[in-house]
A and B are shown apart, each in its own frame.
Chain A
Amino acid sequence: MSHLDQPADLLVVNKLHKTFTTKNGVMTAIDNLSFDVKAGETVALVGESGCGKSTVATCLLGLQSSDSGEIVVEGRNLLADSKAQGKSLGRDLGIVFQNPYASLNPKMKIKAIIAEPLKTAFRLRGVELQQRIIELLAHVGLGEEHMDRYPHEFSGGQRQRIAIARALAMESKLLILDEPTAALDVSVQAQVLQLLKQLQSENGLSYLFISHDLATVEFLAQRVLVMYLGRIVEAGTVAQVFKSPRHPYTRTLLDSVPSIDPARRDELKTLGGEIPSPLNRPVGCHFAPRCPRASDRCHKDVPQEITEQGHRFSCHHPINAAEE
């Protein structure tokens, strides 16, 4: 990263709002979400399924229109200018999707899948194209012999590596990684995480890393946004959020991760209930119905966001550092 002192904001998301109208009512998927990603950093977006993580990704990419708010990439507001959005989708924002079974065309050979962006964006042809494909495949741990195969001949892990190679082909400044390692084996996951880190330091890439695996988040990210039912409930640096979480939901998430030490198995805590339906979100704090610290106030009033040394959280009864 060349601008260590003052990293520029690569992506600024301001009050992004997205609702879906269904026959059962209006569903709020993203509720006035604001965050930024600086050049060369990794921001992680964590939360349970159904909290709106992936909707954020699709809105950023313009795969879905958002209701209101701003998405600013390098000073250009994508939502105001649909042309900018179309171009940005190609060059500035790359994406690695969650499900490599759905994101690769089953009728295309691997070399064609990776060649497509190279041909359209960089006009590569012939030997050059061939070499770049081999290079990209080597980056993700695949060999030349895989070029002429079809996606069905690969395991889920290998397919995801192909998808990553395709995203890398665009040389985007910001990659949106939507649970990229969820389908990979641990040994492969480690390789991919290392690779992502290495690519970041070499090329100054930024990542928006969407994940529910907190350990990989801690490994890859510098900052974390914790989402619950469309809202960011806590945000801060990895150290702030993981070492001294202030929101009870973050604490619960951390306690749910099984430890690799069998002696600590009794520390595994379970949270009662399920994430409520976004069609019928609780009034007040969304987490209140499942929260061990909830009071009457939590069921009535939406908590205001508190900021302490860049550590943002929205809770009426935040956990104090002394309690930890």
Chain B
Amino acid sequence: MSSPVTTKPFETTGPGKQVLEITDLKVSFPGLFKTVQAVRSIDLNIGVGEIHGLVGESGSGKSITAMSCLGLLPDSAVVEGSVKVTGHEINGTPEKQLARLRGGGAAMIFQNPMKALNPFFSVGQQMFDVIRCHRDLSKNEIRAEAEKALQAVQLPDPHLALKKYPHQMSGGQLQRVVIAMALACRPRLLIADEPTTALDVTVQAQIITLLRALARDHDLAILFITHDLGVVASLCDRVSVMYAGEVVESGSVGDLFANPSHPYTRKLMSTVPKLGLGEQSLDFIPGQVPDMSSPPAGCAFNPRCDMATDACLQPANKVLVVSKDTDVSGKHWAACHHVTGKKPSSETALSETLEEHNA
């Protein structure tokens, strides 16, 4: 897996042109007896036209991170840190202003398209409502805009599709309707929460190709949440691996798949059955995702990690991964005491390199 990366290099148009900037985000849900720390300090940046994969097991905080990007978290959530979408702060912004940003600045698509659409209204009615809310257009223009959006997602016969009800369409068609709806208001950022998990492989391949084309042609930034590493490898430019509410490793798709450095990432990769290998033994990760009301001390993965030592009871710092295959080492880091890369000379050296990349 050391061949050159085929991803489009990620170019930003200047400093501060990040579409999504998450800085030290912490989300917790205080309960009567315990507090669940769903997200424990996350930093994440997505530039224009970049597809960023967020991978992890269920319960690792992926979806909570996605929800916080649109201010969709329930009132019971305690949110700290900063989430900026196209430069606008989400945390603490009143609901009225958020409503304008949702759909306009950032849009979201969900795992199950059957549940995302109202079964009582036709696809057209639901699309028109969304466009009317965000854009000042006449009735005919709205219809034209909706048809254009459906065309962009390669749905055959858009004018017929607008008249249909959700139950009259297949899962793949509905997911394309949902993507069209999300894109109709020309958002800068698309948050996709496992959008292909409920779909067939053939349809999944269609959606992957479609999202790639949208990112390339419309400079759309995508935060793609999934637990399918194959989809990440086929779609994303960068990938962050989440475990227990933290990003444990992050890098370009080429670097990270060629040289997975955190033991969790390596384990995750070896648990996936690969096609074409015939007889194979599957690795699995012993134990379970920790109870986030009392996460393990230090590196959260240490109770399940076969490399764990006493050092792992202390929190692990981010360490740059330098491999012989790649020279873009500054962008690939892992938070592990046993990373086989160069340690930065000091903590500031790393944060500088990371900032350089983020800029």
Q: Which residues of A contact B (CB under 8 A)?
A: 48-50, 141, 155-157, 185-191, 193-194, 212-216, 218-219, 238-239, 242, 252-266, 268-271, 274-275
Contacts and interface: CB of A to CB of B under 8 A. Distances in A.
Contact of A263 (B1, B206, B274): B1
Nearest to A51: B200
B76 interface: no
Contact of B202 (A190, A239, A256, A260): A256
Interface string B241-274: 0000000000001100100000000011101111
The secondary-structure label for the interface of chain B is loop
14 contacts: A141-B288, A155-B59, A157-B58, A185-B58, A190-B271, A190-B273, A190-B285, A218-B276, A255-B205, A256-B204, A259-B230, A268-B205, A268-B208, A271-B205
A48 B200 contact: yes
Contacts of A193: 273, 282
B231 interface: yes
Contacts, number: 139
Contact of A262 (B202, B253, B268, B285): B253
Given A193-B282, A219-B282, A260 B201 contact: no
Residue of A213, A219, A253, A275 ringed by the most chain B CB atoms within 10 A: A219
B94 interface: no
A258 B173 contact: no
B283 interface: yes
Given A259-B234, A263-B6, A265-B233, A189 B208 contact: no
Nearest to A263: B3
Interface in B187-240: 200-206, 208-209, 227-231, 233-235
Nearest to A290: B202
B233 A187 contact: no
Ranked nearest first, the 7 interchain pairs of A and B with the lowest CB-CB distance are: A258-B230, A258-B234, A263-B3, A190-B271, A215-B273, A190-B284, A256-B205
Contact of B282 (A194, A212, A259): A194
A49 B198 CA distance: 10
Given A185-B227, A186-B268, A263-B6, A214 B201 contact: yes
Contacts of B228: 186, 258
A215 to B, nearest CB: 4
A271 B57 CA distance: 30
Interface in B57-86: 57-59
A254 B282 contact: no
A99 to B, nearest CB: 11
A17 to B, nearest CB: 24
B330 interface: no
A219 B283 CA distance: 12
B278 interface: yes
Interface in B145-159: none
Nearest to B1: A261
B181 to A, nearest CB: 19
Interface in B265-308: 267-269, 271-278, 280, 282-285, 288
